[in-house]
Amino acid sequence: MKLTTEQVNLYKKDTFITIESMKLLAVITAFYLICIPSIQGQSLIQQLGYPEDAKLLILHADDLGIAHSENQATFDAFEKGMVNSASVIVPAPWFSEFVVWARQHPEADLGLHLTLTAEWDLLKWGPVAEQVPGLVNEQGYFYHNVRDVISHASVEEVEKEIRAQIERYLAAGLQPTHLDSHMGSLFNEKFFPVYIKMGLEYNIPVMINSDFMKKFPGVKPTIPENALLVDQVPMAFPKNYPDGMAEFYSSTLRSLPAGVSVMLFHCAYDNEEMRAVANNHPNYGAHWRQLDFNFFTSDSCRNILKEENIQLITWREIGALLR
Amino acid sequence: MKLTTEQVNLYKKDTFITIESMKLLAVITAFYLICIPSIQGQSLIQQLGYPEDAKLLILHADDLGIAHSENQATFDAFEKGMVNSASVIVPAPWFSEFVVWARQHPEADLGLHLTLTAEWDLLKWGPVAEQVPGLVNEQGYFYHNVRDVISHASVEEVEKEIRAQIERYLAAGLQPTHLDSHMGSLFNEKFFPVYIKMGLEYNIPVMINSDFMKKFPGVKPTIPENALLVDQVPMAFPKNYPDGMAEFYSSTLRSLPAGVSVMLFHCAYDNEEMRAVANNHPNYGAHWRQLDFNFFTSDSCRNILKEENIQLITWREIGALLR
């Protein structure tokens, strides 16, 4: 694939030195062409061996590691419910509890929720890497929101931190089935190239949020037309909360289009611990996460999947295309 | 005070360069002579303005910051019970919850529980300082036990970490009323001088466990005869657990000698979170901490203190002698 002037300029605008940007852009292109090669224009669903009209779904719980409540509810949802994929925040305090469970469940589809923020008021964490001053606030923790990360952190610091999180995950004797991005902090023009670079270097599939492609059309030219992408990434937003999570998830599943979808949510128990974690934070808070848990462990969810002929797949199957 | 050859040799044996050791020993001596000066051989209790036969007691809850359960139970025990002093683990995940409460309770007697270990299986934390490789295990956290800290960490690394913990505490706009040492990791010949040095430098009283003086008689000569020391530091040990914590604390308070005592314990609620924190760790575990909470918020405790004429004091009163 030949790069357009527009594509090259996109990276020239970034904080990278131009020559480095050029190398990186080549790497990104290579990632999509080499790591998940599209054979003769086949879609991801075709390469996975399913008919074009199949509805394939990953039911993915984010935020493992932040609290015992989150870990336990997610583990329970794997064991008793329909949840079949999750990812962990490596710098979070309960990462070791995740490691114990992951070792006991080597078949589970578990990835790394790359994290550059610490969004809760009372429970905090910070970088795994050292000497990344642009990633920490005055209290020594990650910034509360993505905007501050983008304005303070350099691309080099973000790469250093992502690498440290992956290395700590690997050092636990585990292999992440995928990478994704907590609070979408890597879904911006500044850090997105590093995200892709790390996926390529470690040969791990990376999840790309489809909304990101709409919000930042500037990165679109960097993804070759024949790259294999997940088709939909549905997720509940605060506007959906008042009507109930079950209502949102039911209607989303009832109208799920054909293709590969990753549904993102968060399982936790609405208990003392989780209410303290989510202090002053009703959005994606303790009650919200309990409702997520309730739906994805319900008979209702199971029945809808069956009635709508939705087939669950995992990142393992997608990752197998890389090997 | 003039140093004996024995005192000097004690520090020559340490990992310090000899000249540094000599400077440090002078500092330690100064600490006791200058910071809490004994006037004409007066005891601590006399200098605090109490009669020699008074029974003065600090009811001290350790380990704030490790869990919401620990924080909430300790705050509740301050507000509803007899607990009147506590200290926090700065590198622990819930330090920010402590900061919020401490700012709302500027009168509370709150100190810094200097920490070099992460003893739980599923919940972990690590250094505040950077570039202290001797303080971290292969997973990047503090070592599980004190023995490993002593064998791997240098005195310089420990000083760097202690300093970082104090600086983070101060950066929160708070002033610790005292310093103490989690799991007694500073109560050994190698690290004890740093503990004293930091207390002096920041002008904060340091707690010295009386048992330490017995276990390590080698450090005794470094403490001048006229230093002001706490008289007793009673604490429940695993051998006391089978008979019940209430039984241990009641009998300890019933037989409390005159002088200044600091009673050490840990308040937490025996809930899901705390049981996960203390996984595989019945000693000082969730049930133990609930029993501690129960006793120090009970009418029984209140009555014993009254009947035995025990007067509660705080580290603030001791610290006032430094000013």
Q: How far is B137 from chain A (nearest CA, A)?
A: 12
Percent residues over pLDDT 70 in chain A: 84
The string of pLDDT tens digits covering residues A181-196 is 999 999 888 998 899 8
Q: Estimate the share of chain A in helix, then strand, then coil, as percent rounded to the nearest 5.
A: 50, 10, 40
The string of pLDDT tens digits covering residues B128-174 is 999 999 999 999 999 999 999 999 999 999 999 999 999 999 999 99
Packing angle between helix B68-80 and helix B95-104, nearest 10 degrees? 20
First to last CA, chain B: 22
Low-confidence ranges of chain B (pLDDT < 70): 1-41, 210-211, 220-228
Kindly determine whether residue B100 and residue A121, on different chains, have CB atoms separated by under 8 Å.
yes
Kindly determine whether residue B271 and residue A273, on different chains, have CB atoms separated by under 8 Å.
yes
- Which residues in A lie closer than 8 A to residue B125 (C-beta atoms)? 93
- Which residues in A lie closer than 8 A to residue B97 (C-beta atoms)? 122-123, 276
Residue A209: closest CA among A289, A265, A264, A158: A264
Say what the pLDDT of residue A60 is.
98
Tokens 């992951």 found at: A102
Say what the pLDDT of residue B200 is.
83
Kindly determine whether residue B96 and residue A122, on different chains, have CB atoms separated by under 8 Å.
yes
Once rounded to an integer, what is the mean pLDDT over residues A227-239? 84
Spatial distance between the Cα atoms of B247 and A270, rounded to a whole number of angstroms:
36
- In this prediction the ipTM stands at 0.87
Spatial distance between the Cα atoms of A153 and A135, rounded to a whole number of angstroms:
5
Say what the pLDDT of residue B57 is.
97
DSSP for A236-252, written as a single string? --GGGGGG-HHHHHHHH
Count, residues in chain B: 323
Kindly determine whether residue A69 and residue B273, on different chains, have CB atoms separated by under 8 Å.
yes
- Which of A72, A76, A122 best probes binding to B when mutated, by most B CB atoms within 10 angstroms? A122
Kindly determine whether residue B131 and residue A128, on different chains, have CB atoms separated by under 8 Å.
no
Kindly determine whether residue A94 and residue B122, on different chains, have CB atoms separated by under 8 Å.
yes
pTM of the model: 0.87
Closest CB from B125, B168, B273 relative to A272? B273
Tokens standing for A276?
């303290």
The string of pLDDT tens digits covering residues B231-269 is 888 999 999 999 999 999 999 999 999 999 999 999 999
Say what the pLDDT of residue A7 is.
32
Amino acid at A237: F
- Which of B64, B76, B98, B122 best probes binding to A when mutated, by most A CB atoms within 10 angstroms? B122
**Which stretches does DSSP call E strand in chain A?**
55-64, 85-88, 110-114, 179-181, 259-265, 310-312
Tokens 């002053």 found at: A280
Q: How far is A124 from chain B (nearest CA, A)?
A: 5
Kindly determine whether residue B168 and residue A273, on different chains, have CB atoms separated by under 8 Å.
no
Find the closest chain B residue to A98 by CA distance: B122
- Which residues in A lie closer than 8 A to residue B102 (C-beta atoms)? none
Closest CB from B95, B131, B272 relative to A273? B272
Say what the pLDDT of residue B35 is.
38
